[in-house]
Structure 1
Amino acid sequence: MNKIPALPTLLALLMPLAATAAPDASRGQAIYQARCTACHSPDFNGVGPAHRGVFGRLACTAKGYASYSAALKKSGLTWTEANLDRWLADPETLVPGQAMGISLPDAAERADVIAFLKTLAKAKD
């Protein structure tokens, strides 16, 4: 009977977990600037709504933005980490009929962008 030493096997199984980087807001900001700013900004509405204070906010409530799709208005979503991850992965799967035309299929990039969005605390009025 062949015995595989337990410690090397355990280490080999855990190595991929150690290689996974924690979400990084700085990387997320760079991805946001490259992939999101054609339509969004932290502080100004554009084609899409401003993102300052988005984390934890009810969808379709960005101040001064009125171009939300009917589907998103009906969704009742709150922008939690889980919902943002699902939204960024595939907006149409989460909210069929929504209007956002891009996605971030890479899970690490989504985690980084979400980490960045968390840094955008609500502006003081």
Structure 2
Amino acid sequence: MIAYLRTLSGDPAPLPSAEAAVPEAATPEAVEQASGETSPEPAAETATATAEATDTTEATGGTETAAEGAAAGGFAALVASGDVAAGEKDFRKCAACHTVEEGGANKVGPNLWNVVNRPVAAHEDYKYSPALQEFAAGGAVWDYDNLSAFLQKPKDLVKGTKMSFAGIRDDEDRANMVAYLRSLASEPAPLP
């Protein structure tokens, strides 16, 4: 039933890893302790890895994903390893409101050609919402972090935006989308 319910979402919740599904009593460390045969080095390594993971999670308020933790350069590093083809496929849902061709017309939303590292609310001949104009007034640029935050939940980054898109919660899906948007330029924005 849960597997079926997951299929009804455009962005299903992740499933637990195999390690998380195994009860603590069945872990190798627990088996070793129960049998009286312990090997101090692996247990120490496990404790150290657990402590490091806990420290990382606490430092980020518990919101860091495995992909972010692995990507030392943050979201831009995820974009660097992003799947442009997957981002292009996901962009199809955005094509109802945005064009991406060089010199393309604006639709309900602005044309997104060369959007990465472009100043916010700067596309010619598009009437941006007052909220986005105010956000842009501070010199905001569509850098990797701003694009990630906006695509994750537009109304959280720019309260009052006209963009009605609910957002992309998955970090890798957002990175794929931004990798695709980055590719839409004669000279793509630099990566770390």
Q: TM-score range by the shorter chain?
A: 0.7 to 0.9
Name which structure has the greater RCO, CA cutoff 8 Å, separation 6+.
Answer: 1
- 1:106: Cα distance to partner? 1.6
Task: Name the count of aligned residue pairs.
Answer: 118
Q: What is the CA deviation profile of residues 46-99 of structure 1, one whole-angstrom value per residue up to 9, with x for unaligned ones?
A: 000000010111111112212x11000010221000000000001111011111
Unmatched runs of 5 consecutive residues or more in structure 1: none
Q: Which residue of 2 aligns with 1:37?
A: 95
Q: What residue is the counterpart of 1:61 in the other structure?
A: 122
State the one-letter code of the partner of 1:115: A
Instruction: Return the alpha-carbon distance in structure 1 between the equivalents of residues 177 and 105 of structure 2.
Output: 18
Deviation at 1:29, TM superposition (A): 0.6
Corresponding residue for residue 86 of structure 1: 149
The share of aligned pairs that are identical, in percent, is 33
- Hey, what does 1:96 align to over in structure 2? 159
**Structure 2: any 5+ residue segments left out of the alignment?**
1-32, 51-65, 72-77, 188-192
Deviations 1:20-58 (A, max 9, x none): 98311111111011x211101103210000000101111
For residues 2-81 of structure 1, the aligned pairs below 5 Å read 2=38, 3-5=40-42, 9=46, 22-33=81-92, 35-42=93-100, 43-66=104-127, 68-76=128-136, 77-81=140-144
Look up the equivalent residue of 1:101 and give its one-letter code: S
Matched letter for residue 133 of structure 2 = K
CA gap 1:108/1:30 in 2 versus in 1, 3 angstroms: same
State the 1:122 CA deviation: 5.1
